[in-house]
Amino acid sequence: MSALEKLRAAAPVMREDLAGLVAVESPSADLDALARCADVVAGLGRRCTGLAPERVVVADRPHLRWRFGDGPVRVVLVGHFDTVWPVGTLARWPFAVDGDRCTGPGVVDMKGGLVVLFHALAAVADLDGVAVVCNSDEEIGSPTSLALIEETAAGAAGALILEGSADGRLKIARKGIAHYSLRVTGRASHAGVAPHLGINAGVELAHQVLRVAALGAPPGTTVTPTDAVVGTTSNTVPAAARVSVDVRAFDPAELTRVDTALRGLRPVLPGAELTVELGPSRPAMPESASASLFALARRVGAELGLPPLSGEAVGGGSDGNLTAGIGVPTLDGLGVVGGNAHAEGEWSDLATMPERAALVAGLVDAIGRLR
């Protein structure tokens, strides 16, 4: 029996494993919930591979790492178990299956990818030189797991990222991402008695938001003001205001251009002050980072008899940006096929899970033969 046939026979188990992961809610901000989910992921990985993970806790946040064999890492697989869904979501939107389609919070982003990952490794004969990182903060930019991912992946021949896939397309390029906080300091005063004595931070922020939004050059470079906070009470000239800015670009030079422009902003209102702070960021994952592995994946897929693979460049970020950023060949979107990530109705195609696992297993084997 081939690996693909074995994985197809294991499809009911894969479905139950996905249901078990989804049943343990794991929003990025809830450390207790993340710890519970880490236990379930660790159990799944141990059952499929025979090895318990190393538990790496950074700032009270749990991450998991597996290393197989004593030699250098030749291929690293990366996934995350945090989601964007708050605890309590399951009460109104439980895991459900309708034919080959399942829905529930996190089924595609990316608990389905974790099921694919571990069942793929169960189908690999020789795991020597394979490493796995499952982190709990990908949805907020991987601030505490970045060092772990880079340390584990350094020098590897390939990184396989188990994010979900729309219509089976692999992610062959991702935009670099930079998050900023633009803060305005003004001066408070009574809005009715002495508005002229204040420096209105809200008005200054309005001026700056228009300047910030004009920095984009879509579709390649997007600069998007997002959440904002202004003032304290309705009858006070606001003394402080803040806006978040989301910057994305395929070209690193564009990220530099926007960074320079943001740091060069100057106040419009006399007396107002501006502060620009850089938050969580990810380097771009250029198409050149995935080219060799994408060609290899197409060859492996053809050998398995799978439909021809296609690729796409996307604006969303992942931990693939991090592995590509340190020069490791990286292929993303190898997880479960599905859609509506981060939205009501998030879904996965259960019928494709064995095929994706077989593809990942074949890639792990093939990358091993490259060294």
Instruction: Evaluate whether 367 touches 126 at the Cβ level (below 8 Å).
Output: no
Indicate if 239 and 291 belong to the same structural domain: no
Helix crossing, 353-369 with 11-22: angle to 10°? 100
Residues 295, 308, 107, 132, CA torsion sign: negative
Phi/psi for 76 (5° steps) reads -120, 135
The yes-or-no verdict on residue 350 having pLDDT over 80 is: yes
> In which region does residue 358 sit, left (phi positive, over 0), alpha (psi from -120 to 50) or beta (all else)?
alpha
Q: Tell me which H or E stretch contains 131.
A: strand 130-135
The yes-or-no verdict on residue 369 having pLDDT over 90 is: no
Indicate if 86 and 168 belong to the same structural domain: yes
Percent of residues, the chain, with pLDDT higher than 90: 97
Which of 282, 306, 327 terminates a domain? The answer is: 282
In the predicted model, what is the mean pLDDT of residues 330-353?
96
Indicate if 272 and 294 belong to the same structural domain: no
**CA-CA distance, 62 to 24, in Å (whole number)?**
15
The pLDDT mean for the chain works out to: 97
User: What's 55's domain CATH number?
Assistant: 3.40.630.10
Burial class for 149, CB neighbours closer than 10 Å (0-12, 13-18, 19+): buried
Phi/psi for 58 (5° steps) reads -125, 120
In the predicted model, what is the mean pLDDT of residues 296-319?
96
Q: How far is CA 311 from CA 83, 169, 205, 249, in A?
A: 25, 5, 40, 18
Indicate if 198 and 223 belong to the same structural domain: yes
Q: What local confidence, expressed as pLDDT, does residue 1 receive?
A: 75
Q: Which domain range does residue 361 map to?
A: 3-175+284-369
Determine the straight-line distance between the first and last CA of the chain, rounded to whole angstroms.
28
pLDDT in tens, 30-47: 999 999 999 999 999 999
Indicate if 157 and 254 belong to the same structural domain: no
Indicate if 364 and 216 belong to the same structural domain: no
- pTM for the complete prediction? 0.92
- Report the SS3 class of residue 64: strand
Counted domains in the chain: 2
Indicate if 76 and 155 belong to the same structural domain: yes
Q: What local confidence, expressed as pLDDT, does residue 371 receive?
A: 57
Mode of pairing for the β-strands spanning 311-314 and 54-58: unpaired
Q: What local confidence, expressed as pLDDT, does residue 368 receive?
A: 84
The contacts of residue 46 (CB under 8 Å, 6+ apart) are 52, 53
Mode of pairing for the β-strands spanning 170-174 and 158-161: unpaired
- Report the SS3 class of residue 245: strand
**CA-CA distance, 223 to 245, in Å (whole number)?**
7
The yes-or-no verdict on residue 5 having pLDDT over 70 is: yes
**CA-CA distance, 4 to 20, in Å (whole number)?**
23
The yes-or-no verdict on residue 292 having pLDDT over 80 is: yes
Indicate if 303 and 162 belong to the same structural domain: yes
pLDDT in tens, 83-122: 999 999 999 999 999 999 999 999 999 999 999 999 999 9
Indicate if 60 and 194 belong to the same structural domain: no
Which of 282, 301, 330 terminates a domain? The answer is: 282
Percent of residues, the chain, with pLDDT higher than 70: 100
Residue with tokens 């564009």: 254
- DSSP sequence for 256-280: HHHHHHHHT---SSTT-EEEEEEEE
Indicate if 80 and 149 belong to the same structural domain: yes
User: What's 219's domain CATH number?
Assistant: 3.30.70.360
**CA-CA distance, 322 to 317, in Å (whole number)?**
9
Q: What local confidence, expressed as pLDDT, does residue 347 receive?
A: 97
| More confident call, 280 vs 266 | 266
- Tokens linked to 324: 């590509």
Which of 231, 257, 282 terminates a domain? The answer is: 282
Q: Which of 345-349's residues contact partners 24+ apart within 8 Å by CB, and which partners? A: 345/103, 346/103, 346/104, 346/105, 346/106, 346/107, 346/108, 346/109, 347/101, 347/102, 347/103, 347/107, 347/108, 348/18, 348/101, 348/102, 348/103, 348/107, 348/108, 348/112, 348/164, 349/100, 349/101
Helix crossing, 353-369 with 287-304: angle to 10°? 110
Indicate if 150 and 39 belong to the same structural domain: yes
Indicate if 24 and 96 belong to the same structural domain: yes
